[in-house]
């Protein structure tokens, strides 16, 4: 009976793929980019946390592989809800190995109206996707040798890399989230900042084992790129870590056109849904609100006090109803976010606000005042158009749009799935499309301390708007 159902499911899948009703995630062969030679040396790491933390791990790992002239054993992206957290090396390795779907294939055949066995409860909540799904590696693999690590076990490395014993693997175990920072220049006096130990490149170069296996390599500028050669390499890596998935690109193009085209609107990214971002949601919204008011309106201080920002002082307070299950910088916990209300408009403000919107989708809005400024807000805020957090932005600007205003353009997202597991990726891809659209604005405003906002600001926005990408915020030697 189960065999018959499986055959029916396979037949249905094949038909839907042919009709493009399903867009399957394609997994490359481990050695499609590179075939290792005898005695070749490698470097690898353990993935953890959300997509953007893993993206930063990838950036650091590419730098390390290049610096050390080692082939990168690249794990897939882990997508899950909740995200898989950082743990000490041994615990993280053990948990990653236990988090498997081997032997649970039957879970994907259970119909929605059937009860899920206990072992299947977590099955649809996570999956792994190759980095090639998001990025084009054609140029990156010319600079760094890459092998896709299909399995995170040491046994896979032993079998596939022809290692003689586990002594060929140097386990670089970490005991805290930011255990070390790698310095590419021995003379660099860059502070350790949040990192615990200094690790000079010469120390890593002296390791003779064929595989250097790190735990976490997460942390922006954790692997420093301070020599001119390394700065250019980091810039090259960032320029090539731009979303190229054709479905995401096509959806973004359609929505951006409806917003007037690239450079025709203001892009905003507001992360308010979890952790410290939930606690500081109203503060981050207020920061962006005032930036928009200053730059794109002629509202007076009295206008704000009496009408548009009457809850200003309350909005500058953290919401401590939420428990934050993440590490927070002790210094940050003492910060006060009180901020006197003020306005500061550019001298040419009238030229920015005169006239009415020519955008067809904006002409039926409630007011023409400030309608020349179109705003697109990418956010994880639920029902943003009606959410109290964002109300003051909508109250000032009549031409504000969010992703849910373009539902008809998002249909193809629902077609993308890991067919082997029957897991759809829609919930993971919506924030990416959201960000890609916001990055096409002539100006971009992001959420303080968000790695996602930083990615949009430093990488997506300059590429999409044809500007020169720079290494913003890079520590000086």
CB of 79 closer than 8 Å to CB of 428: yes
Query: Considering its fold, how many domains does the chain have in total?
Result: 2
Q: Does a structural domain hold residue 472?
A: no
For residue 126, the enclosing domain spans: 2-239
Whether residues 229 and 92 share a domain: the answer is: yes
pLDDT score for 325: 46
In a domain, 79, yes or no: yes
> Quick one: 422 and 459 in the same domain?
yes
Q: Kindly report, residue by residue over 203-247, the tens digit of the pLDDT.
A: 999 999 999 999 999 999 999 999 999 999 999 999 999 999 999
Residue 284 lies in a domain: yes
151, 30: one domain: yes
229 lies in the same domain as 294 = no
Q: How many residues does the chain have?
A: 477
The first and second tokens of residue 111, run together, are 């119909």
Q: How many CB atoms lie within 10 A of CB 29?
A: 9
Beta bridge partners of 170: 212
The string of DSSP codes covering 77-97 is EEEESSPPPP--HHHHHHHHH
CATH code of the domain in which 155 resides: 3.40.50
Shared domain check, 220 and 146: yes
Q: Which of 218, 239, 260 is the last residue of a domain?
A: 239
Determine which of 28-32, 247-251, 447-451 has the lowest per-residue pLDDT on average. Answer: 447-451
Q: Which of 26-30, 330-334, 387-391, 414-418 has the lowest mean pLDDT?
A: 330-334
Domain boundary among 216, 239, 262: 239
pTM for the full predicted model: 0.91
User: Which of 6-10, 121-125, 189-193 has maximum average pLDDT?
Assistant: 189-193
Does residue 111 form part of some domain? yes
**Residue 475 placed within a domain:** no
Residues 384 and 334 in one domain: yes
Q: Does one domain contain both 52 and 174?
A: yes
Question: What gap in Å lies between CA 141 and CA 100, rounded to an integer?
Answer: 28
Phi/psi at 235 (5° precision): -60, -40
Q: Quick one: 219 and 326 in the same domain? A: no
* DSSP tag of 306: I
Same-domain check for residues 390 and 308: yes
Read off the pLDDT of residues 260-273 as tens digits, 9 standing for 90 and up.
999 999 999 999 88
Pairing relationship of beta strands 146-149 and 71-75 according to DSSP bridges: parallel
pLDDT at 18: 54
Residue 440 lies in a domain: yes
Select from 130, 127, 208, 226 the least CA-distant residue to 170: 208
Task: Cis check for the bond before 82: say yes or no (omega within 30 of 0).
Answer: yes
Residue 332 has pLDDT above 80, yes or no: no
Q: Is residue 471 part of a domain?
A: no
Q: How many CB atoms lie within 10 A of CB 387?
A: 16
Judge if 251 and 235 occupy the same domain: no
Would you tell me how many other CB atoms lie within 10 Å of the CB of residue 72? 27
CA distance 268 to 222: 27
473 within domain boundaries: no
222, 311: one domain? no
Cis peptide before 463 (omega within 30 of 0): no
Last residue within a domain, chosen from 239, 258, 289: 239
Q: Please give the Cα distance from 477 to 468 (Å, whole number).
A: 23
HSE-up (13 A, CA, CB side) for residue 107: 19
Give the pLDDT band of residue 356 (cuts 50, 70, 90). Answer: confident
Same domain, 160 and 290: no
* Mean pLDDT along residues 106-131: 91
């Amino acid at each position: 009976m189960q065999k018959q159902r499986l055959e029916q499911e396979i037949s249905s899948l094949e038909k839907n793929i042919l009709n493009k009703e399903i867009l399957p995630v394609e997994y490359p062969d481990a050695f499609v980019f590179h075939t290792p030679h005898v005695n070749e040396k490698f470097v690898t790491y353990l993935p953890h946390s959300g997509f953007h933390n893993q993206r930063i791990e990838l950036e650091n790992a590419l730098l390390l592989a290049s610096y050390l002239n080692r082939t990168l054993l690249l794990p897939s992206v882990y997508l899950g809800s909740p995200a898989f957290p950082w743990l000490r090396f041994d615990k993280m390795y053990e948990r990653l190995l236990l988090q498997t779907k081997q032997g649970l294939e039957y879970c994907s055949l259970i119909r929605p109206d059937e009860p899920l066995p206990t072992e299947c409860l977590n099955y649809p909540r996570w999956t792994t996707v190759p980095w090639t799904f998001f990025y084009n590696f054609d140029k990156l693999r010319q600079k760094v040798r890459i092998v896709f690590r299909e399995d995170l076990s040491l046994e896979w490395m032993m079998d596939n890399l022809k290692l003689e014993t586990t002594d060929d693997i140097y386990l670089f175990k970490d005991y805290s989230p930011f255990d070390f920072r790698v310095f590419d220049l021995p003379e660099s006096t860059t502070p350790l900042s949040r990192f615990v130990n200094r690790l000079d490149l010469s120390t890593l170069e002296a390791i003779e084992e064929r595989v250097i296996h790190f735990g976490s390599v997460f942390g922006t500028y954790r692997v420093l790129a301070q020599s001119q050669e390394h700065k250019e390499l980091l810039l090259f890596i960032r320029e090539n870590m731009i979303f190229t998935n054709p479905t995401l690109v096509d959806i973004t193009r359609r929505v951006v056109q409806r917003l007037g085209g690239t450079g025709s609107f203001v892009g905003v990214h507001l992360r308010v849904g979890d952790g410290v971002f939930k606690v500081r949601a109203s503060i981050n919204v207020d920061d962006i609100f005032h930036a928009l008011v200053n730059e794109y309106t002629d509202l007076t201080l009295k206008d704000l006090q009496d009408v548009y920002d009457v809850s200003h002082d309350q909005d500058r307070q953290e919401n401590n109803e939420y428990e934050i299950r993440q590490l927070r910088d002790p210094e940050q916990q003492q910060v006060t976010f009180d901020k006197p209300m003020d306005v500061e408009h550019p001298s040419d403000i009238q030229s920015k606000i005169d006239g009415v919107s020519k955008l067809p989708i904006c002409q039926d809005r409630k007011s023409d005042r400030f309608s020349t400024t179109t705003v697109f807000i990418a956010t994880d805020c639920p029902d943003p158009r009606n959410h109290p957090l964002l109300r003051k932005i909508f109250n000032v600007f009549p031409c504000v749009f969010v992703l849910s205003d373009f539902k008809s353009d998002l249909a193809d997202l629902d077609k993308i799935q890991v067919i082997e597991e029957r897991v759809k990726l829609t919930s993971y891809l919506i924030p990416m499309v959201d960000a890609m659209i916001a990055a096409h604005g002539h100006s971009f405003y992001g959420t303080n301390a968000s790695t996602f906002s930083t990615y949009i600001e430093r990488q997506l926005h300059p590429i999409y708007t044809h500007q020169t990408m720079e290494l913003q915020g890079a520590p000086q030697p």
